[in-house]
């Protein structure tokens, strides 16, 4: 790394200030606020707060509803991450194989990524609409009476499909550029060493792609946990009732709909800890097996 | 071990560019063939077609008795050494060597035996557990060689394997490759743009130009009897001098400098006034004082420009023609340049006017328009 020389010792801090300010205002400050208010029960009308220690936490963790949502979040995250990664990988491998068409292919698949989550959710809702949704009609052909927003599992299914569909282009771009970064002579050497294309993929291509895949794994986990908020909000049409929810949505519901700031804060702190542990675990156990070129 | 034969092999790219234009040749079992030529001459494409990494547009390639046109690279029983080594960065050296064998279902103890044996031959036994990243360029080169050796293939294909090494290591590995190939006796096709590498390694040299074979032969005969001006200027360093002349009364007269010299030429096709190119190697010039020009010899008057000592000998760079003081004409930059080998002890100064002769049997006449050698 080249050592930068600054004329004034204050200049580097000055240059860093905007980024630090953003991190502080939008991350550290709210986090600190959340941690603080998770130990209080706040008056819904803002007339005061009572210190209650860990009561918010015990209430949350003791609630069967919360545990049910946590369970769904886990399943949802795993399925969305797995599907969006694997489908994107298959598409990228296929696109990479037909290099000449790749740029058209690539831009076509990229377009979806430009859609904001609520819009994606809205479009998804159209697809799953009881009256005009083509996917509902398709399901009906197979005898599946799909009722998104009414039936718990149908709603969950729609959420997963929309969330995966939204995330595939992002993963696709990274996978494709990762694939194209694999040196040509390496593939050729492998073609001479191994007849089976599938085996070459598992033994040479995929290990070479591991750094990209690991990065995407973390990004996708975070996406499924947090960024699917907009999709869930639109699919459940703001009427959660007994529809499937994820933990992030629950934080929002309790905090802003039920005005239980303390309980909501406790939930966000729990979520922060879960993500922290998850990310650390990924770095600790998976990254060790990743080879950076 | 096998023969390789190419029959009218062509490579035409989608845009209509013909990279290889109907190449035919037979490679004997155990022979070391070097494909040599400037970049873009189609040598790498030809090698990659033998390997199966490029499709064959027309013609047939046989390895052994088998036509391999439609056979996958992995099934052609060849091993290739790449310019960038192409080692799998995520595998240890041991696994790099073992990979091709495992995929072919070779038993584990047999793999181990072959890897250890190759490691012993190439002296890479100490790095078997390392990743390629932790190796030097020369060591990677050895591993790449090892990966080819353990396969015990019908043929080795080398694609400029030494061009990423420094000069000293290149010479060392060159000798090693030759020694190894001779001891294993495996048919080898080696691509290089380095004429010295080509000369030193080849049993037979294939000089390619613009996708076609210009000349095939053992290194010495290619050096001594180049088939065209292209081969003459490509093989040998410094390159063969090519001097444009025209023929008058059975005598070749230098185009630029009528007074500077000439050579007696005889041959069935030599017509008066026709244009020719005379080729003379730098080492075949002799000072006129030591050996006066006889019949058919070339005599040449030159003005020296630079003396380049290389140690064992020196190369004298000069323009043809004496300066105004001695010959009454002006030596200018348009006059053809020649390179002449002189003894290391020679102390010529720039601007000296010297006379040289070259014996008749060392003069190579070429047709000026086609560049082809004229049989004498």
Q: Do B155 and B303 share a structural domain?
A: no
Does the distance separating the beta carbons of B79 and A210 come in below 8 Å? Answer: no
- Residue A117 is predicted with a pLDDT of 73
Q: For the domain that residue B291 is a member of, what is the CATH number?
A: 2.40.50.140
| Residue entry with tokens 């390496």 | A186
Residues of A whose CB is below 8 A from B45 = none
> Which residues of A fall below an 8 Å CB-CB distance to B?
183, 185-186, 188-196, 199, 203-204, 207-208, 210, 291, 293
Cβ-Cβ contacts under 8 Å for B217 (sequence gap 6 or more)? B204, B205, B225
Does the distance separating the beta carbons of B51 and A189 come in below 8 Å? Answer: no
Does the distance separating the beta carbons of B74 and A208 come in below 8 Å? Answer: no
- Residue A102 is predicted with a pLDDT of 56
Q: Which residues of chain A have pLDDT under 50?
A: none
Residues of A whose CB is below 8 A from B141 = none
Mutate which: A182, A189, A213, vs B, most B CBs within 10 A: A189
A255: containing domain: 44-289
Q: Which residues of chain B have pLDDT under 70?
A: 1, 249-251, 255-274, 322-335
C-alpha closest to that of B157 among B292, B260, B33, B55: B33
Q: For the domain that residue B93 is a member of, what is the CATH number?
A: 3.40.50.300
In a domain, B314, yes or no: yes
- Residue B334 is predicted with a pLDDT of 58
Separation in Å, CA of A92 to nearest CA in chain B? 21
In a domain, A5, yes or no: no
Q: How much is the CA Rg of chain A, to the nearest whole Å?
A: 23
pLDDT digits (tens, 9 = 90+) for B63-84: 998 999 999 999 999 999 999 9
- Residue B270 is predicted with a pLDDT of 58
Q: For the domain that residue A280 is a member of, what is the CATH number?
A: 1.10.3720.10
In a domain, A16, yes or no: no
Separation in Å, CA of A282 to nearest CA in chain B? 20
d(CA B346, CA B286): 13
Does the distance separating the beta carbons of A191 and B73 come in below 8 Å? Answer: yes
d(CA A165, CA A148): 17
Which H or E element spans position B11? Answer: strand B4-12
In a domain, B374, yes or no: no
B332: containing domain: 241-367
- Residue B28 is predicted with a pLDDT of 94
Separation in Å, CA of B253 to nearest CA in chain A? 53
Q: How many domains does chain B have?
A: 2
B84 closest CB neighbour out of A185, A191, A196? A185
């Amino acid at each position: 790394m080249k050592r930068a020389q600054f004329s004034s010792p204050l200049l580097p801090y000055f240059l860093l200030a905007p980024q630090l300010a953003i991190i502080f205002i939008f991350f550290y400050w709210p986090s600190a606020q959340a941690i603080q208010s998770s130990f209080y029960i706040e008056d819904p009308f803002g007339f005061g707060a009572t210190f209650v220690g860990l009561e918010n936490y015990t209430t949350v963790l003791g609630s069967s509803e919360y545990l049910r949502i946590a369970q769904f979040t886990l399943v949802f995250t795993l399925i969305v991450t797995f599907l969006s990664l694997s489908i994107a990988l298959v598409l990228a491998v296929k696109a990479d194989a037909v290099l000449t068409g790749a740029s058209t292919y690539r831009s076509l698949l990229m377009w979806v990524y430009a859609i904001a989550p609520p819009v994606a959710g809205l479009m998804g809702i159209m697809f799953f609409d009881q009256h005009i949704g083509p996917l509902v009609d398709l399901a009906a052909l197979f005898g599946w009476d799909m009722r998104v927003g009414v039936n718990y599992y149908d709603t969950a299914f729609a959420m997963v499909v929309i969330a995966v569909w939204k995330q595939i282009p992002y993963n696709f771009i990274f996978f494709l550029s990762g694939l194209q970064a694999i040196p040509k002579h390496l593939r050729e050497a492998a073609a001479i060493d191994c007849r089976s294309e599938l085996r070459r993929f598992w033994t040479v291509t995929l290990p070479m792609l591991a750094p990209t895949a690991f990065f995407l794994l973390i990004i996708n986990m975070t996406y499924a946990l947090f960024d699917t908020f907009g999709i869930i909000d639109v699919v459940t049409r703001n009427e959660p009732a007994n529809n499937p929810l994820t933990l992030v949505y629950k934080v929002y519901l309790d905090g802003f709909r039920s005005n239980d700031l303390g309980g909501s804060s406790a939930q966000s702190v729990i979520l922060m800890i879960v993500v922290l542990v998850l990310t650390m675990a990924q770095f600790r156990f998976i990254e060790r097996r990743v080879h950076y070129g | 071990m096998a023969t390789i034969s190419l029959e009218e092999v062509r490579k035409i790219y989608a845009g209509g560019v013909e990279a290889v234009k109907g190449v035919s040749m037979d490679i004997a079992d155990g022979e070391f063939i070097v494909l040599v030529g400037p970049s873009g001459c189609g040598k790498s494409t030809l090698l990659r077609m033998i390997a199966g990494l490029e499709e064959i547009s027309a013609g047939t390639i046989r390895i052994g008795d088998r036509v391999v046109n439609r056979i996958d690279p992995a099934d052609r029983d060849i091993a290739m050494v790449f310019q960038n080594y192409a080692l799998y960065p995520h595998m240890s050296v041991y696994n790099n060597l073992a990979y091709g064998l495992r995929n072919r279902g070779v038993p584990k103890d047999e793999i181990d035996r072959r890897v250890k044996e190759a490691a012993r031959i190439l002296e890479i036994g100490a790095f078997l557990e390392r990743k390629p990243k932790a190796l030097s360029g020369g060591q990677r080169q050895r591993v790449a060689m090892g990966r080819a050796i353990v396969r015990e293939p019908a043929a080795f294909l080398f694609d400029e394997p030494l061009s990423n090494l420094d000069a000293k290591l290149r010479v060392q590995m060159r000798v090693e490759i030759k020694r190894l190939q001779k001891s294993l006796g495996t048919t080898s096709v080696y691509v290089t743009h380095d004429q010295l590498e080509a000369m030193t390694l080849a049993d037979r040299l294939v000089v390619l130009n613009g996708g076609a074979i210009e000349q095939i032969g053992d290194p010495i005969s290619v050096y001594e009897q180049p088939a065209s001006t292209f081969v003459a200027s490509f093989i040998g360093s410094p390159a063969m001098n090519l001097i444009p002349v025209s023929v008058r009364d059975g005598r070749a007269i230098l185009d630029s400098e009528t007074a500077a010299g000439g050579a007696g030429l005889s041959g069935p096709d030599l017509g008066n006034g026709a244009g020719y190119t005379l080729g003379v190697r730098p080492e075949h010039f002799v000072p006129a004082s030591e050996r006066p020009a006889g019949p058919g010899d070339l005599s040449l008057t030159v003005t020296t420009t630079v003396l380049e000592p290389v140690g064992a000998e020196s190369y004298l760079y000069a323009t043809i023609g004496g300066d105004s003081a001695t010959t009454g004409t002006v030596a200018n930059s348009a006059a053809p340049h020649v390179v002449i080998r002189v003894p290391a002890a020679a102390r010529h100064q720039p601007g000296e006017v010297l006379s040289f002769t070259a014996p008749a049997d060392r003069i190579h006449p070429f047709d000026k328009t086609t560049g082809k050698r004229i049989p004498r």
